[in-house]
Copies of this chain bind each other. A is one copy, B any other.
Amino acid sequence: MSEPNYSSRRSKLVRSFKSAGIDALLVSGESNVRYLTGFTGDSSWLYISRNTTILISDSRYQTQLQDECPDLDVDIRDARKPMTEAVAAIIRSASPRNPGFESSHLTFEQYQTLAAAVDPVTLAPTSGLTERLREIKDKWELQQIRDAVMFAERGFAVVRSSLTHSQTETEVRFLLEAAMRSFGATGPGFEPIVGVGPTAALPHAHAGSRQVSESPILLIDWGGETQSGYRSDLTRVLVTGKVTKQMRTVYETVLKAQQEAIKAIKPGALCKDVDAIARNIIADAGFGKYFGHGLGHGIGLDIHESTRMSPLSDQIFEPGMVITVEPGIYLAGKFGVRIEDDILVTRDGHEVLTSVPREFDDAVVEFLA
């Protein structure tokens, strides 16, 4: 699979300028810069217009930039010149009529400093121009995400097959990370959640010292990351002992909500409608107030990116989007169940990229002795 065509990505971005009312853009979001240039460092901003593309960085990255972006114009500022001054100098010299900035990737303070430095030029806030491009994954990106899924699934198989009653959440987490790395992942992509019983009831728990034996419910939310920075994101619950009737009901409800939502994913469907399918199934089963987060999110260079599936979303599915579907029910102090898969929107529907079995019977772990 050939490398991504960064120059073509930048051309697409420039073509979106007209409707955004700008003729140049300062890209300061780290993943956006990476997407548009291939540069994997931080603290570097991209100025881009029809005729000019300059990456403003500092001496720490000089050599790395020559390796990663040999064809890109680069402005290396030294330790004495703040980023905003270096950028202001470029804007003054390029003199665009209506330069934009990424309003969700400059802090208010950075904006104020930069605005003062380029005065009387005014800076126009823009939102999501590069993120919009990143929503639709190209072939190369899809292969990256498939690799990230593979790392995650092979890692999970190792953890599952070596699970014991005496392992702690933290031990399981570290084993999972090591296993994914052994298959080629650069890392877990995000801090894996490994939660036993009451810990599984915390949607954003940190792995701690609970042992697998403390509850029949073990929740694992994990993903892998590829060398090029693409991520996967899955959740499975393992059943490690005798469950209560309520646990079984919760599991089946979450699974049904997830499966029915996935079925509805296709080009043209509304994200909030798919969210509502899962939300209604959970509410109808009497657990509505125990599902407080959105149904899912885009994955790619960031672990949470556009597209968003929530009651607030006004987005529409398009071919090439890759999103998680992850309903959950959380009973505080007792247990939680979340089931999460990664879904590609295809031309005529969707493809589930993740294949770890998810039926209740599949979740039951048989222990020796």
Q: Taking beta carbons and an 8 Å cutoff, which residues of A are in contact with B?
A: 40-42, 58-64, 78-80, 82, 101, 103-112, 125, 127, 174, 178, 181, 186-187, 191, 198, 201-206, 292-294, 310-312, 330, 332-333
Nearest CB to that of A111 among chain B residues?
B108
- State the Cβ distance, A335 to closest chain B Cβ, in Å: 12
Say whether B333 contacts A292, CB under 8 Å. no
Contact of A181 among B79, B107, B174, B330 (CB under 8 A): B174
Say whether A104 contacts B107, CB under 8 Å. yes
Could you list 12 further interchain pairs (A-B, Cβ under 8 angstroms) beyond the known A63-B330, A78-B292, A105-B107?
A63-B198, A63-B333, A79-B293, A82-B312, A101-B108, A103-B109, A104-B108, A108-B108, A108-B111, A108-B125, A174-B178, A186-B206
Say whether A64 contacts B204, CB under 8 Å. yes
Say whether A125 contacts B109, CB under 8 Å. yes
- State the Cβ distance, A66 to closest chain B Cβ, in Å: 8
CA distance A234 to B213 in the complex (A): 39
Say whether A311 contacts B80, CB under 8 Å. yes
Given A58-B293, A108-B101, A111-B108, A64 and B311 contact (CB-CB distance below 8 Å): no
- State the Cβ distance, A41 to closest chain B Cβ, in Å: 6
Nearest CB to that of A207 among chain B residues?
B186
Nearest CB to that of A127 among chain B residues?
B109
Nearest CB to that of A81 among chain B residues?
B312
Nearest CB to that of A125 among chain B residues?
B108
CA distance A248 to B134 in the complex (A): 47
Say whether A204 contacts B63, CB under 8 Å. no
Say whether B125 contacts A63, CB under 8 Å. no
Say whether A292 contacts B59, CB under 8 Å. yes
Contact of A204 among B41, B101, B201, B310 (CB under 8 A): B41
Say whether B294 contacts A79, CB under 8 Å. yes
Contacts of A104 in B (CB 8 A): 107-110
Contacts of A40 in B (CB 8 A): 206
Contacts of A101 in B (CB 8 A): 108
Say whether B311 contacts A60, CB under 8 Å. no
Say whether A61 contacts B312, CB under 8 Å. no
What would be 26 A-B contacts, judged by CB atoms less than 8 Å apart? A41-B204, A42-B204, A59-B293, A60-B203, A60-B204, A60-B293, A61-B203, A62-B292, A63-B201, A63-B333, A64-B204, A78-B292, A79-B310, A79-B312, A80-B311, A82-B312, A101-B108, A103-B107, A104-B109, A104-B110, A106-B108, A107-B108, A108-B125, A109-B125, A112-B125, A187-B191
- State the Cβ distance, A278 to closest chain B Cβ, in Å: 12
Say whether B127 contacts A79, CB under 8 Å. no
CA distance A291 to B178 in the complex (A): 35
Given A82-B312, A292-B78, A292-B79, A64 and B107 contact (CB-CB distance below 8 Å): no
Say whether B64 contacts A202, CB under 8 Å. yes
Nearest CB to that of A311 among chain B residues?
B80
CA distance A312 to B81 in the complex (A): 8
- State the Cβ distance, A302 to closest chain B Cβ, in Å: 14
- State the Cβ distance, A258 to closest chain B Cβ, in Å: 16
- State the Cβ distance, A141 to closest chain B Cβ, in Å: 20
Contacts of A202 in B (CB 8 A): 60-61, 63-64
Nearest CB to that of A67 among chain B residues?
B202
CA distance A310 to B40 in the complex (A): 24
- State the Cβ distance, A312 to closest chain B Cβ, in Å: 6
